[in-house]
Amino acid sequence: MKVTSLRVPKQGNAPDECEDAAHVVADDDGPVLAAVADGASESLLAGQWAELLAKTVADAARDDDRVLRDVDRFASALVDAGEAWRAWLDDYVAEREAAGRPIAWYEEPKLDRGAHATVLAARFDTDPSGVTRWDVAALGDSCLFHTRDEKLRQAFPISSAGAFDNAPGLVNAFNRDQALLARHARAVSGTGERGDGFFLCTDALAAWFLRAADGGDRPWHVLGEFTRTGDLDGFTTWLAAARAEGLMRNDDVTVVHVDLR
């Protein structure tokens, strides 16, 4: 199993301004975990929240194989991420004060509202026969695509490009309502075999992927040209062209490609 991650900011932004995040855990003798998160730009510290959210959920799924099969357990992991955020935020505020840059009055309202992000996480367990069980859970519009034999077998949690909108479900860093989070989360499981591909994509890339697939194209081949070699420069150049042609909106982009071998 090979896992590759590529992340590119909005056109005109620096890499450290990207508010997407990806976290991958790929041990030689254990399951593969991958998560992507998309921080909402209108919230303060969205990129940092996305990073912590992706890591916390992937690590929880590594430690408990039921986290991505049960929306209640998944929601519990989201609450745990929020608890970790509170500690992170306290440290951030203290560091700002120590550096002589305390939180400004105009930052306080956004800090009080909390950072927001979508999140999707997947776990892959391969048995000795080569069959891989996969489990994925999501809240929001980041997507997973499962491909086999030149076909798109699964699109989750969104299966149509027209279903994307400007108000996706979001995880608020201050939300401790596990039942509410569980109601908005979705989970699905399946099996894969050698030669299958899985692409975890944040929303702008996911919408492009579905539009291309609906039009009879094979977008997984396009992405695979970059992910299989880790060609970030080539991916960045291709994204710039796709944005310029109106094929994709200008947004942060993240893809994690899990290639079953």
pTM above 0.85, yes or no: yes
Counting Cα atoms < 13 Å in the Cβ hemisphere of 149 gives 3
Strand segments (E) across 193-252: 197-201
Residue 246's pLDDT is 93
Residues of the chain with pLDDT under 50: none
Residue 43's pLDDT is 84
Residue 41's pLDDT is 83
- Count: domains in the chain: 1
Q: Read off the CATH number of the domain in which 56 is found.
A: 3.60.40.10
Q: How far, in Å, are 5, 24, 65 from residue 194 at the CA level?
A: 20, 20, 21
Consecutive H or E run containing 35: strand 32-39
Report pLDDT digits (tens) over 72-87.
999 999 999 999 999 9
CA distance 54 to 27: 17
Task: Please give the mean pLDDT across all residues of the chain.
Answer: 94
Structural domain for 217, as ranges: 2-259
Report pLDDT digits (tens) over 99-108.
999 999 998 9
